[in-house]
Amino acid sequence: MATKQLELHQSVVKFLSNAPKKMLINGQFVQSVSGKTFETINPATGEVITKVYEADKEDIEKAVKAARVAFEGPWKKVPPNQRQMLLLKLADLIEKNAEELAQLETLDNGKPIRESRAVDVPVTADHFRYYAGWATKIHGETIPVSCGNFLTYTLREPVGVVGQIIPWNFPLLMAAWKIAAAVACGNCVVLKPAEQTPLTALRLGELIMEAGFPAGVINICPGFGETAGAALSGHMDVDKVAFTGEYITGRKIIQASAGNLKRVSLELGGKAPNIVFVDGDMEAAVKGCIGSVFFNQGQVCCAGTRLFVENKIYDEFISKVSDRAGKLTLGPGLCEETQMGPLVSSDQLKRVTGYLETGKKEGAKPVCGGDRATDGDLQKGYFVKPTVFANVNNKMKIAQEEIFGPVVSAIPFKDIEDVITQGNDTTYGLSAGIWTKDIKKAHAVAKAIKAGTVWINCYNVFDSAAPFGGYKQSGFGREGGIHALELYTQIKAVWVNLD
């Protein structure tokens, strides 16, 4: 257990002292129309960090209007190379303020500071840089047609005003995933951060203004799903909504989109099979399994939560994984040694511990962890022990439903056919892992698994250039790489009569 916490950077203290935190609408930090605020909680202690003005329907209305005005006017006049410069400047500012952002993220979300520093913040900066590169390379084509003497060409144009609704597991990084591609393509954005973790998005808003983005191009409105989120996804002047979160919310977003038939893209979580064959590099697979399931306290949509292990090595492998899991250092995210922090909220704690009870009732055996961690100060926060369930079969609830906590369900399998059948026996299809030295087998399984990302002899590897998204009920649309440009642009065909 880690206990000694680092002292907050003075810029974090300064950011928090100016409260309640205001939302970003039309280039200004403003209060909510209603004057209402909500509290954001430190999940390591259960204490209030600060208050934040709460966006509701009227605030979303203002933000969408500002985005529309910016889109039809000033933002259209900004040429691609200036969009690029703005995004590059923002990336530089993120790097310049990296330690502050990392601490703020850890404070609000709970994740280990080492992860905020090594992953969330640098990958965020990289994402803005990557899409800055695209801003000057988005173009149409000329098309040789056979039906007559025409010059036929296409224009690839931005969609317009985009509503973006993000979750709490990677608050800053998800904001970057959403904003960078949309803005590079020339859209204007209204972003609704998750109510559990609004702080880094608001600090990002300050950096966005410091970078020099025109007013209204990026608006950031923290609030709750049923109010601000619903207003945004149902808004008749929003052209597209991009969402990451639970599949049930995804369904609501689709329903809300019907009014003006706005475009929708959804990233909805998963129940990934992580498949270990007897011929895999066992040490690497153990390490990969630990990373796949305990990174970010398991609150990761692509976490390898269904660990399929070939019969012959099942017991040995599970014992190695649970040995290692049991040694993870649990503690507040602000301790340098912490390897696993608290879950994000008391709701999430309830949900995860509920699944731990369900798993035990279903007959699964917790060979490591299995309950809440309450040693010393941990009892104040939302800590759950890293948990490895053995004796799981793929029909159990803990093997079918997304737990979103540090819990892995280990399932034995017989052979390649068996693991493909079981691996695909899920409503989700976001990701998968395969551990084997047999390249034929690796490619055969990669092809057969219905998932948007497959990692072979690695797990949770990301790059701004690679697409990410789901098959089946994990959603549709791909973020990352060139594919995100499809989400945020539309094509116009122009015909010129040359006769």
Of the pair 100, 267, the CB lying nearest ligand NAI is at: 267
Whether 243 and 229 have beta carbons less than 8 Å apart is answered as no
Of the pair 221, 285, the CB lying nearest ligand NAI is at: 221
Cβ contacts of 38 within 8 Å, gap of 6 or more: 51, 52, 54, 195, 222, 223, 224
Of the pair 344, 367, the CB lying nearest ligand NAI is at: 344
Where b means 16+ CB within 10 Å and e means fewer, 3-17 reads eebeebbeebeebee
478 counts as binding ligand NAI under rule CB under 6 A: no
Of the pair 246, 425, the CB lying nearest ligand NAI is at: 246
Where b means 16+ CB within 10 Å and e means fewer, 299-334 reads bbbbbbbbbbbbeebbeebbebbbebbeebebbbbb
Cβ contacts of 69 within 8 Å, gap of 6 or more: 26, 216
Q: Which stretch binds ligand NAI (CB under 6 A): 239-247, 331-339, 458-466, 477-485?
A: 239-247
**Is 301 assigned a catalytic role?**
yes
120 counts as binding ligand NAI under rule CB under 6 A: no
* CB-closest chain residue to ligand NAI: 225
Distance CA 150, CA 341 (A): 63
Residue type, 309: V
Give SS3 for 125.
helix
* Structure tokens, 52: 């934040």
249 counts as binding ligand NAI under rule CB under 6 A: yes
Give, in order, the Cα–Cα distances in Å from 420 to each of 91, 159, 416, 473: 41, 39, 6, 18
Interface map 302-341 toward ligand NAI (x if CB under 6 A): ----------------------------------------
Show contacts with ligand NAI in window 164-203 (CB under 6 A).
165-167, 169, 192, 194-195
230 counts as binding ligand NAI under rule CB under 6 A: yes
Least Cβ distance, residue 247 to ligand NAI (angstroms): 8
Of the pair 280, 298, the CB lying nearest ligand NAI is at: 298
Distance CA 190, CA 179 (A): 9
Distance CA 430, CA 114 (A): 26
Least Cβ distance, residue 350 to ligand NAI (angstroms): 10
List 185, 301, 335, 368, catalytic entry:
301
Least Cβ distance, residue 199 to ligand NAI (angstroms): 14
* Structure tokens, 87: 């995004």
- By CB under 6 A, the count of residues binding ligand NAI is 26
Of the pair 120, 267, the CB lying nearest ligand NAI is at: 267
Among 27, 171, 205, 269, which residue sits at the site for ligand NAI (rule: CB under 6 A)? Answer: 269
**Is 368 assigned a catalytic role?**
no
Interacting residues with ligand NAI (CB under 6 A): 165-167, 169, 192, 194-195, 224-226, 229-230, 233, 244-246, 249, 252-253, 267-269, 301, 351, 402, 404
Q: Which residues are catalytic?
A: 267, 301
